[in-house]
Amino acid sequence: MYSVLPILIAVIGLAAVVIIFMIIMGRKGDGGGRNRRVRGRDSIVRNAAKRLSQNPRDPKALEEMGDIYFQEESWPDAMKTYEVLSEVAGGNSGVDEFEANLRYGISAMRLNMVNEAYKGFSAARALRQDNFEVNYNLGFLEFQRKNYEKAIQLLDQARKLDPDSAATLRYLGHALFRVKKAKDAMNYIRKAIDLAPDDKESLFTLAECYYEANQADQALRLFSHMRADPNMGPSACLLSGTINLEQHQEDAAIQDFEIGLRHQNIKSDILVELRYKLAQVYLTKNDIGKALPLLRLIQAENPQYKDVAMLINKYQELNASRNLQIYLMAPSADFVALCRKIVMTYFPKAKTKITNISVNKNEWADLQAEVDTPKWSDTIMFRFIRTQGSIGELIVRDFHSHLKEVKAGKGVCITVGSFTEEAKRYTEARLIDLIEKDRLSSILNTVDGKAAAAAVPRKH
């Protein structure tokens, strides 16, 4: 047994030497192949350069140099070479004119030279219309130029040549959306997303397609999913909030807009619209204190934006007067309660008893009262109008008719707006007092104090 061991060790050692030798020779062989390829490339370049020095428009030399530049992605040199070759090809049947223009277009595209790329692809398509690269690239360029109808034609032809190209499906879908063909667009965009799931912009456009196609729930689901995205998030929040507003989900809309405003580096147009819509929701909820700061931010950056200036003028006054807010914006029950306080304190040192209250929708309230003062007693009818505009003669005539029906001795018609000259002339010979905004504001500012004083029992 011990005599076999030295032989076994020797065999293993010899095998190891052979393996190492083979590895070394293999490496040398690979290096030799690379060297031969480099020498072949250099030889082609030298020969082509020599011929071009004698004839700068030598078709064969241009083809050889162009091919090397193109394969090595040396785009500036490739573009220059194929530009010359495409010119030479017109009078030389031995040159592939189509390939020269195609490669010129591709090289220009890689250098972001859009006009040159368009020129190359257009020339190539004039020679062959059944090439995928030509149709796709021209379609993409037409999309970038916002020539969406042309883009659709070219991209659809590219899709037929390669149905599984995610980029083709993407831009075809986006172009269809731009021309208001949302249902057609969503089919292609869905396929593009299946092939490229990380395409957030296409996911956003798919949500827009659902929204345009009146499939609001699907749109809302996608927009809500994208609210946290650092790039698409602000726009997704804006549209998600808009849909929630349309569905009367004000609290959900507020959440959407607030999430949108927490993003960094928001585009200016999205930022101003997020602030504007959030302010609008706050106003519908009578939360003027939160709405006004947003409106002022908008006005500071864009003074002419929509009706911001008018809203600020209107609501900063309301914000300073709680009773004015109630008069204009509160639910009917709160509005009537404020009207009761005004009636009960309207005549100083009088005993006032309200005998009837009627409300006409949310437009006005009529309160009938029996008033007893040391000098006179009578039935007085009050009409409180919530409209901020001008009150015309028709409403005053209606009020006068109501006075005669209930046999009131006098009427007091109150508005937060103003009365027209016709309305004022109508009341000149009638027992109706017209109270406009300025005097109403004074009443509203003092009514709580008067009501509190009237509630304190008098000492005898």
Q: 276, 306, 271: which is closest to 291 by C-alpha?
A: 276
Q: What pLDDT does 139 receive?
A: 98
pLDDT per residue as tens digits for the range 176-191:
999 999 999 999 999 9
Q: Which two tokens stand for residue 159?
A: 């899709």
Q: What pLDDT does 42 receive?
A: 77
Conformation bin of residue 349: beta by default, left when phi > 0, alpha when psi is -120 to 50: left
Cα distances (angstroms) measured from residue 168 to each of 64, 173, 174, 269, 402: 31, 8, 10, 30, 72
Going along 266-407, which residue ranges are E strands?
Answer: 351-360, 364-372, 377-385, 390-391
CB 99 within 8 A of CB 86: no
pLDDT band, very low/low/confident/very high, at 205 (cuts 50, 70, 90): very high
Compute the average pLDDT of residues 192-201.
95
Q: Assess whether pLDDT exceeds 70 at residue 410.
A: yes
CB 297 within 8 A of CB 274: no
Give the bridge partners for 435, in sequence order. 414
Compute the average pLDDT of residues 161-182.
97
The distance between the two most distant Cα atoms of the chain, rounded to a whole number of Å, is: 146
Whole-number average pLDDT of the chain: 89
pLDDT per residue as tens digits for the range 214-239:
999 999 999 999 999 999 999 999 99
pLDDT per residue as tens digits for the range 332-344:
999 999 999 999 9
Instruction: Identify the residue whose tokens are 């602000």.
Output: 234
Domains of the chain from N-terminus onward: 50-323 (1.25.40.10), 331-455 (3.40.1350.10)
DSSP 372: E
Nearest 5°: phi and psi at 360?
A: -100, 95
The percentage of residues in the chain with a pLDDT greater than 70, rounded to a whole number, is 89
pLDDT band, very low/low/confident/very high, at 457 (cuts 50, 70, 90): low
CB 423 within 8 A of CB 393: yes
Q: What pLDDT does 197 receive?
A: 94
Q: Which two tokens stand for residue 325?
A: 């807010």
pLDDT per residue as tens digits for the range 7-31:
334 434 443 433 444 444 444 445 4
Q: Assess whether pLDDT exceeds 70 at residue 167.
A: yes
Q: Which two tokens stand for residue 147?
A: 């020539």
Helix, strand, coil percentages for the chain (3-state, nearest 5)? 70, 10, 20
The winner for highest mean pLDDT among 54-58, 406-410, 450-454 is: 406-410
Compute the average pLDDT of residues 50-56.
80
